[in-house]
Each structure stands twice: as C-alpha cells, then as structure tokens.
Chain A
Amino acid sequence: MTPVEFANRYGLEVLSTGEGETRQIKGIYCCDLLSLVMGRAKEDDAFFTVMANVNAIAVGVLADVACVVLCEGIRPDDLALQRAQEQDVTLLLSKKDSFQTALDLWKELQAQG
C-alpha cells in the first residue's frame, strides 16, 4: 500500500506527496526520540511520530522511510513543511494517536500478506 492510498482510505491529510503515490510501505516504526528512529527505523517503514519539527523530516530523509506520519493532529511548523516538500518526503497528518493510526495501517499490511 502506498502512503497516499493509506491517507485516502483513512482520512489522513497529505501535507507533502513526495514519492507517496508510488512507494510501497513495507513496515511500521513508532517513536518520538529521533536518535532511536535513526538507528532503528527501516527503509520503507512508515514512521509515526508527534515530533513535528524539521529534524523529524531530516530523519525521514536520511533513514529513507516511506513516509512520515504526524499524529494527534499536530501540525508541522512552516520550516518542517517546506523542507518536506523540498526533499520529496511524503508527510501525512492524522487526527488519531500513533497507536490507532499505526493499527489501521497494520491491518492493511496484514491483509496484503
């Protein structure tokens, strides 16, 4: 499932599309400590966080995740949004918390097998 397909199915807002229409999500990683995310998120994971700053976007780029999903309706600041668009990072916004949003995605990934 691509990040944009996931966003459309569950009512998430697409703040920056990036490669989100073509790239496939292969796993899930939830964490707000960016140092941990750098070491442990895998390529093509969907990364769930409430850390809506420019550093979360940089981590998304460098760890090469499929998308960054901001949860709890916490919007990025202008700089973070601008950086996501410049760097082609797929950035989604969910009103639900990380667990609920990730659970929705997990069900989809399970259904795909």
Chain B
Amino acid sequence: MSMLNLTYEVDGDDFTRAGEASSAVKKRLRSLGIPPEAIRKVAIALYEGEINMVIHANGGTIDVAVDPDKITMTLKDTGKGIADIKKAMQEGYSTAPDEVRNLGFGAGMGLPNMKKYSDHMEIDSTVGVGTTVYMEVYL
C-alpha cells in the first residue's frame, strides 16, 4: 500500500477544466514536502496526459500513488486507442483536430513530453478498447 493514493476523473471535451487534476496533484505533493523538481516533472507529465484524454478519449481516470521512493501515475481511458504507438511517440506527429490546434495544443508533443518528464513510462493500448499509460517519477 502506498503512502498516499489520489484518483481523479477527467472530463472529455472540456478544455477549460483540463489541468485541474494535475494542479490538484501538484498541491498535494507540495504539502507532502516532495522535492520541487519531482513535482514539476509529475505536473507536466500528468497535464499532457490529461490533455490527451480530453482530445482523444473523451476523458478517463487518473490514479496517482505516492511512495517513499517514487510517484506512480496511471492514466486510463476507454477511448479509441493508439494505432501506432511508435509513430505517436515521435515529436510532431499528431492526429489532433484543428480546433485543438487553435487552443495551442496538438503539436505532437504530448507523449514525447510525458516520456521526457517521467523516469519510466509504459503504454498499453488497444484500438477500439482504450489506452493505459503508466508513468513513474523517482524520488
């Protein structure tokens, strides 16, 4: 059992609320005295995940587990899945619609940023079933 478990529901199609879960996690981690650099990594990785869920999957669930040696994030959705994970991991590759680009997203940096800011990441995705992303940030 972890020291602390947090769960958030992410609304689909609501860009104005994207970031709420990440901000809430950031606050909790701060109150626990987690080092600022680790908090920043978690916040960025989670926010990108949140945005992805809003753009591509009509929302989903975020679980965050805090342990003495690491923070584990599990982002689970039942969206359309990722057909080609290798391609999706390339910077600049994006399947986001134009209205998303107008908001400043959809530059094909989401998954690459998640990989960059987490110390370990795994993606499990099935087309038509959904995607689960696991990320760890070591403390």
Main secondary structure of the interface of A (DSSP, over half): helix
Q: What residues of A have a CB within 8 angstroms of the CB of B44 in the complex?
A: 38-39, 62-63
Q: A53-B103, A56-B104 are contacts. A62–B110 as well, Cβ < 8 Å?
A: no
Residues A33-64 near B (CB distance < 8 A): 33-39, 43, 51, 53-56, 58-59, 61-64
Classify chain B: how many residues form its interface, as a range. 20 to 34
Number of A-B residue pairs having CB atoms within 8 Å of each other in the complex: 74
Q: Which 5 A-B pairs have the closest CB atoms?
A: A58-B19, A34-B104, A35-B109, A35-B107, A39-B113
With contacts A35-B104, A43-B36, A62-B43 known, what are 8 further pairs, Cβ within 8 A?
A33-B104, A34-B103, A38-B47, A39-B112, A55-B15, A55-B19, A62-B44, A64-B40
Which positions in B face A, CB cutoff 8 Å?
A: 15-16, 18-19, 22-23, 26, 36, 40, 43-44, 46-48, 51, 103-110, 112-113, 116-117
